[in-house]
Amino acid sequence: MGNVQEKVDREVLIRTLEGEESFRRFQPAAAGEWEEYILAQSSQATGGLASVPALLQRNATLYADKDAYREKEFGIWQRWTWAETEKEIEALALGLINLGVEEGDFVAIIGRNRPYFYWSMVAAQSVGAVPVPVYNDSAAEEMEYILGHCGAKYAIVEDQEQVDKIIEIQEHLHQFKHMIYIDPRGLRKYDHHALHEFSHIQNQGRAAYDEWITDLQERRAKLTYDSTCVMLYTSGTTGKPKGVVLSNRNVIESAKNSSEFDNLGAGEEILAYLPMAWVGDFIFSIGQAYWTGFCVNCPESPDTMMTDLREIGPTYYFAPPRVFETQLTNVMIRMEDAGPLKRRMFRYFMDLAKKVGPNILDGKPVGGMDKLKYKLGEFFVYGPLKDTLGFGRVRVGYTAGEAIGPEIFEFYRSLGINLKQLYGQTEATVFITAQPDGEVRADTVGVPSPDVEIKIADNGEIFYRSPGTFVEYYNNPESTASTKDAEGWVATGDAGFFEEGSGHLRIIDRAKDVGKMADGSMFAPKYVENKLKFYPDILEAVLFGNGKENCVAFINIDLTAVGNWAERNNIAYASYQELAGHPKVLDSIQSHVETVNKSVAADPMLAGCQIHRFLVLHKELDADDGEMTRTRKVRRVIVADKFKDLVDALYDGSTTVSTETEVTYEDGRKGSIKATLELRDAAVVSTAAKVAAE
Amino acid sequence: MSTQESYVTEDGRTIGPTVMEMKNITLRFGGVKAITDISFDIREGEIRAIIGPNGAGKSSMLNVISGFYVPQEGEVWYKGAKRPPMKPYEVAQQGIARTFQNIALFEGMTVLDNVMTGRMRQMNAGLLSQAIWMGKAQQEEVENREFVEKIIDFLEIQAIRKTPVGRLPYGLKKRVELARALAAEPSILLLDEPMAGMNVEEKEDMSRFILDMNDEFGTTIALIEHDMGVVMDLSDRVVVMDYGKKIGDGTPDEVRNNQAVIDAYLGVAHD
């Protein structure tokens, strides 16, 4: 009780300092009442909680001694409570003011998920600047575009690698002033005129407390629901990245609605491992974390992510389908190497789980015997497996970004992991639709999220309007106007439809990718590609055929899965290229293609998209070569252009083709690889025959 | 050659006075002269390379420094005093750590345990305290573990912390060995062919670690290396050996233009 009163006193003090009368009048009687009051205040989005820094102030009082951040470093989970976090951010914010950061300045933030970078974002917001997180694996010229486009004057970066990149492009960035780095290693000898160590900036901030604290408080008080919260550059499947401006309203309302949708509370644990420049990470690790007060855990290094996941055991988890796929592939590979007893047990209980697991998860009736056996399975197989994967405590799990294979999706659900799908984009501050508990399926993306309105245009394109709808594309009124209309409806660029009965949304493809075949039937490449990608040995597929008589495809094998298969079958190979061209690999891919053709033919609307000819590419499609976005979506146009000779060869009927491809190494150097590829025909189901059969 | 004043290199590192000096070292195995009358010095904070063709006597030289071989003639001076013949462990206690050409790690132990063995010199708790793991032993373990974790972080081997060394690929084993040597907080670190058998990327990583180590901890490094490109980029000064004799000594540029060195590497007829 005394503790609560203390907290209240402190809060009143803070608010008084900030000149907010409303807080002084409130004298709470009990802890619950106080919490209720705070939440009531926030849901009305009053002046006090109209920004992320304001939420931080609330959390520092309400959850003072609760962990806000953890990061594994030196083998130990280092922790910061909300009260400590507030102090760290304040010191940094004062340091930024001391350095000369002004309201409205853009501050680029470049690094992997670490508490320091999350603090940097909130500190930037506190001083009225706009944080711009940038993908840390971007090449220097990509960074140059983004930093030049927003006119960033400051950058907070991780280490020597990022510092070197910025120095390389600095002469083209006339507005650029100062850079702050976290890890001093290797940087001691650098010219420190415009280069500062993170901890020094914080120390300077602490030292200049008296000088700048009033300034900081004034700046913080000026933040409103309509101030810019963050600017995120969309990866852009076409053209240059665009800076999406999100306001505090966008972020806080979306965080609030989505937290309520899944009953997220202060007790959740998440692992922050997805790129900080991606809107999802911003919403989970800042939006929802600050709204609900839950704890954000940062892995030790990208390589230790799986171990860290296991140690933390998050209760709320997000991953793109690729991560789930990789994990499943690893489980299957390791099971192949297990002893016969373990293998039999695994198979038996997985079959059972497949049958009854999803129903048990959805709370549907299941026979008593099956229930008992499932319990036994939980003890012997599911429990230990979930624990190994780090999913032992997951209460809400999401996947989004791409379609997930039904088998993969069912696998996790059958284990009792509440994995769901959502559909969203940067411009919507993530949430457009999501699956409510108990209504989860692999082929839909759920119902509209709270406060989101959706309409579908005649051509199938999905439009939405919500409190999360972005403000604008920075410095790009044309793109803003062509995406968001006067009434606030935003074009997603995706084609889809609402399923009758369930009211769930189903996505077909990117609206602009949906085309027409020469005979006028529908061409929906992604629909077919996804079916191919559901095979573990196919990593990527690219379908061509818009405006043509028939379709052809490029296929990328998955090195882990195919490599393991090769090892078990005594197939020797020296390189990715050699394995990709192996006749037995081609045979197996061909059989997948033919199975997919049968499945595609079953849908009369899309029967024209069957694959007539295909080839297996000699290199993996890669973001460094511009063939994919940083979030690993295929850039269709660029691939078609770069491998034009291969597409032509697929259409002109030749059986082999020699080609040379330029590749970019991670350090930016270029090289080239030569290959002779075999082109194969795949059996197709004749649609005419099918009509006749029916 | 061995002036005692400190100076600052082009890239801003301070090179101090001589810490180790080899005076007229001759080493024989029976009738074979492995090293003939070689003198050179190592200065504090520098990266000193010993290069030479196969069989030139480089590894023997390193073994003399580490106390593994006792030369028949000549003197080893360390920190201003003449060093009496010593056992390798006594040399290690003086602050000289090394890695081996053909990796000498405990294969069955984890990376962490292997690196911890590098802290032996810093553990002084008594047998009883160690056995029941209380008091001083426990406190020591915590302190040393903290130090080891910093090294693990520094060499970016967090992901394999708990992996048995036997399961690691060659390049990583080399890095673990480096970590163990570094854990001993050496004043001189001897590296015997740190890049042998590595691909270009691994070599680049290793070079960066060597430079960072020198920069961050101020460790004096003496290394033997075959790869000329690497040596010339990394070192402050280079000793060149051929057939057990010193044929050159100086900065990479001086050595590169030394006729005797060019002959030894490109090969000329020996009369």
pLDDT tens digit sequence for A211-222: 999 999 999 999
> pLDDT confidence of A236, banded at 50, 70, 90?
low
Read off the amino acid at residue A220: R
The reply to whether residue A189 touches residue B215, judged by beta carbons under 8 angstroms, is yes
| Spatial contact of A561 and A329, defined as CB atoms under 8 Å apart | yes
| Alpha-carbon gap, residue B70 to A118, rounded angstroms | 58
| Any A CB within 8 A of B218 CB | no
Contact list in B for residue A164 (CB cut-off 8 A) is: none
- Chain B interface, mutation test: which of A189, A273, A309, most B Cβ atoms within 10 Å? A189
In chain A, pLDDT over 70 holds for what percent of residues? 91
> How are beta strands B245-250 and A461-465 bridged, if at all?
unpaired
CA distance B202 to chain A (A): 13
Q: What is the pLDDT of residues A603-647, one digit of tens each?
A: 777 788 899 999 999 988 888 888 888 777 888 888 989 899 999
Which chain A residues are closer than 8 Å to B152 by Cβ?
74-75
Please indicate whether, in this complex, the C-beta atoms of B215 and A74 are within 8 angstroms of each other. Answer: no
Nearest to B99 by CA among B223, B207, B201: B223
Q: Closest-CA residue in chain B for A303?
A: B159
Mean pLDDT of chain A: 86
Q: Do B153 and A73 touch (CB under 8 A)?
A: yes
Which residues in chain B are contacts of A304 at CB distance < 8 A? Answer: 158-159
Residue contact B11–A303, C-beta within 8 A: no
Put simply, whether B12 touches A (Cβ < 8 Å) is: yes
- Please list every residue in chain A whose beta carbon sits closer than 8 Å to the beta carbon of residue B154: 185
Q: Which residue has the higher pLDDT, A600 or A692?
A: A600
For A306-317, what is the mean pLDDT? 92
Q: In angstroms, rounded to a whole number, what is the distance separating the alpha carbons of residues B213 and B194? A: 14
Chain-chain contact of A186 with B208 (C-beta, under 8 angstroms): yes
Rounded Cα–Cα distance for residues A113 and A301 (Å): 9
From residue A602, how far is each of A542, A595, B187, B218 by CA, in Å? Answer: 21, 11, 74, 70
Task: List CB contacts (< 8 A) between A189 and chain B.
Answer: 11-13, 215
CB contact under 8 A, A301 and B150: no
Q: Identify the pLDDT of residue A55.
A: 93
Amino acid letter at A645?
D
> Which of B152, B158, B215 lies nearest to residue A186, judging by beta carbons?
B215
Helices B170-183 and B200-217 cross at an angle (nearest 10°) of: 10
* Interface contact B253, partner A, CB < 8 A: no
**Could you tell me if B107 lies within 8 Å of chain A, comparing CB atoms?**
no
Q: Which domains does chain A have, with CATH numbers?
A: 2-62 (no CATH), 67-248 (3.40.50.12780), 298-509 (3.40.50.12780), 515-693 (3.30.300.30)
A186/B158 CB distance under 8 A:
no
Interface check for B158 against chain A (CB to CB < 8 A): the answer is: yes
State pLDDT tens for residues B218-255: 899 999 987 778 888 889 999 998 888 888 888 888 88
- For A75, the closest chain B residue by CA position comes to B149
CB pairs below 8 Å between A and B: how many?
37
- B-chain residues within 8 Å CB-CB of A185? 154, 212, 216
Between A559-568 and A583-601, two packed helices, what is the crossing angle to 10 degrees? 120
Instruction: Identify all chain B residues contacting A300, using CB atoms and an 8 Å cutoff.
Output: 158-159
Kindly list the residues from chain A whose CB atom is less than 8 angstroms away from the CB atom of residue B13: 189
B63 and B13 Cβ atoms separated by less than 8 Å? no
Is the model's pLDDT at B45 over the cut of 50?
Answer: yes
Query: Is B12 within 8 Å of A189 when comparing Cβ atoms?
Result: yes
**Cβ atoms of residues A511 and A504 within 8 Å:** no
Contacts of A307 in chain B (CB under 8 A): 159
Q: How far apart are CA A294 and CA A393, in angstroms?
A: 15
Has residue B57 got a pLDDT over 90? no
Contacts of A186 in chain B (CB under 8 A): 208, 211-212, 215-216
Q: Which domains does chain B have, with CATH numbers?
A: 1-95+186-271 (3.40.50.300), 109-183 (no CATH)
Chain A CB contacts of B150 under 8 Å are 74
Partner-chain contact B215 A76, CB within 8 Å? no
Chain A residues within an 8 Å CB radius of B12: 188-189
Question: How close does chain B come to A158, measured CA to CA in Å?
Answer: 15
Among A186, A189, A304, whose Cβ lies nearest the Cβ of B158? Answer: A304
- Find the helix or strand (DSSP H, E) in which A497 lies: strand A490-498
**A689: pLDDT strictly greater than 50:** no
What DSSP letter does each residue of A514-547 carry, written as one string? -EE-TTS-EE-HHHHHHHHHTSTTEEEEEEE-TT
**What pLDDT score does A688 carry?**
54
Judged by a CB distance cut-off of 8 A, whether residue B154 touches chain A is yes
> Using CA atoms, how far apart are residues B134 and B113, in angstroms rounded to an integer?
19
CA-CA distance, A327 to B141, in Å (whole number)? 36
Facing residue for B159 by CB, picked from A74, A186, A303: A303
Task: Please state the rounded mean pLDDT for residues B116-141.
Answer: 78
Centre a 10 Å sphere on the Cβ of residue A357 and count the other Cβ atoms it contains: 26
Give residue A5's pLDDT.
43
CB atoms closer than 10 angstroms to residue A198:
21
Answer yes or no: do B212 and A304 touch at CB < 8 A.
Answer: no
pLDDT at A227: 92
The band of B268, judged by pLDDT with boundaries at 50, 70 and 90, is: low
Residue A33 has pLDDT above 70, yes or no: no
3-state secondary structure of A34: helix
Judged against a pLDDT cut of 80, whether residue A420 lies above it is answered with yes
Read off the tokens for A501: 């009965």
* B11/A contact by beta carbon, under 8 A: yes
Nearest Cα to Cα of residue A70 among A273, A212, A234, A292: A273
Residue B13 touches partner A, C-beta closer than 8 Å:
yes
Given an 8 Å threshold on Cβ–Cβ distance, is A186 in contact with B211? yes
Binned at pLDDT 50, 70 and 90, residue A687 comes out as low
Residues on A contacting B at a C-beta cutoff of 8 Å: 73-76, 185-186, 188-189, 300-301, 303-304, 307
- How does A4-30 read in b/e, with b if 16+ C-beta sit within 10 Å? beebbeebbebbeebeeeebeeeebee
Mean pLDDT of A221-225: 90
Q: Which residue of B has its CA nearest to A186?
A: B212
Looking at per-residue pLDDT, the higher value among A256 and A506 belongs to A256
Q: Express each pLDDT in A145-196 by its tens digit.
A: 999 999 999 999 999 999 999 999 988 998 999 999 999 988 888 888 899 9
**Residue B85: predicted pLDDT:** 84
Q: Tell me the average pLDDT across B202-211.
A: 89
Higher pLDDT, A475 or A16: A475
Q: Which residues of A touch B161 (CB under 8 A)?
A: 75
- Cα torsion A327, A329, A331, A334 to 10°: value is -130
